[in-house]
Amino acid sequence: MRSLFLVAILMSLHTFLPTTEKAEADPRIAADEWTLVWSDEFQDDGPPNPKNWTYEHGFVRNREYQWYQAENATCRNGLLIIEARKERKLNSFYAAYTSSSLTTQGLHAWRFGRFEMRGRIDTRAGLWPAFWTLGVKGNWPGNGEIDIMEYYRGILLANAAWGTNKKNVARWADSRKPIASFPDADWSNQFHIWRMDWDSNRIEIYVDDMLLNEVDLNKTFNEDREKKNPFREPHYLLLNLAIGGTSGGDPSNTQFPARFEVDYVRVYQKANAR
């Protein structure tokens, strides 16, 4: 009986440990609160896992300068590397830059949970890295957008956006923190952990456990006729490195290639949220 009891304890503990090689129990996450439900640790060299990620292609949004293509994303030495290059790309338009945007759209989506990414962003002029979500239902902004990490022009952003009564016009709950305000002068050269805690009542967005933004989901109903709340619906993830465009700034004096490096992406949920 004693040996069977010990086996049962070990099996119950195992269910709360990440299943990937690099993922380890996070001391900030109590086993009785969160369970790892999905992650990518980017352990295998080569293209990102096609079971986890697909890609955006071409010119996509915000009048950005880059042509998105899968070739600019690779896994190497335990990191996902999204590389922006200054190179001519002759397509339906003439692009001077290429980069990559990865998404779990059509593969994985979640409603509520703890979303975490450890990464290092390039903060030079003209670069616009992001780790964010979009709702699976409807068109932007009515489907909802959550910017867990967004950076441009010296500013780190943590935002949520939803629909107004005007087409293609969003209501924003945004937070802006200049990276110059961080006490560590070497902040941009280091890896940091971005995290979103999301339930039916609120969204909290952090960097290195510092709260950047808190959004009350009782105030985020779309202002159209349906009045739906896009933050009580499933969302999928995106990782991308954009260049220039409406917010990214001027990259003309920036040396390329530029990199957005990701150590891991993890999604935790509570049992009653799945």
Residue 91: its pLDDT value, please? 61
CA–CA separation, 274 vs 261, rounded Å?
30
How far apart CA 175 and CA 203 sit, in angstroms, is 13
* Cα dihedral 63→64→70→74 (10° resolution): -160
Instruction: Give the span between the Cα atoms of 259 and 240, in whole angstroms.
Output: 10
What was the pLDDT predicted at 274? 55
Instruction: Tell me the helix, strand and coil percentages in the chain, rounded to 5.
Output: 15, 45, 40
* CB contact set of 190 (below 8 Å; sequence gap of 6+): 120, 184
pLDDT under 50: residue ranges of the chain: 1-20, 31
According to the model, what pLDDT value does residue 32 have? 57
Tokens describing residue 51: 């079971």
Confidence at residue 16, expressed as pLDDT on a 0 to 100 scale: 37
Predicted local distance difference test score (pLDDT) of residue 23: 62
In this prediction, residue 161 carries a pLDDT of 98
DSSP strand pairing (155-163 vs 170-178): antiparallel
pLDDT of residue 140: 97
User: Is the pTM for the entire model greater than 0.75?
Assistant: yes
Q: What domains are there in the chain, each with its CATH number?
A: 31-273 (2.60.120.200)
pLDDT at 149 (0 to 100): 98
Identify the pLDDT of residue 88.
Answer: 83
Q: What is the model's pLDDT at position 141?
A: 98
Helices (H) and strands (E) in the chain, counts: 2, 17
Element of type H or E holding 13: helix 2-14
Distances from the Cα of 58 to the Cα of 21, 53, 168, 248, 249, angstroms: 34, 17, 21, 17, 20
Element housing 245 (H / E): helix 245-248
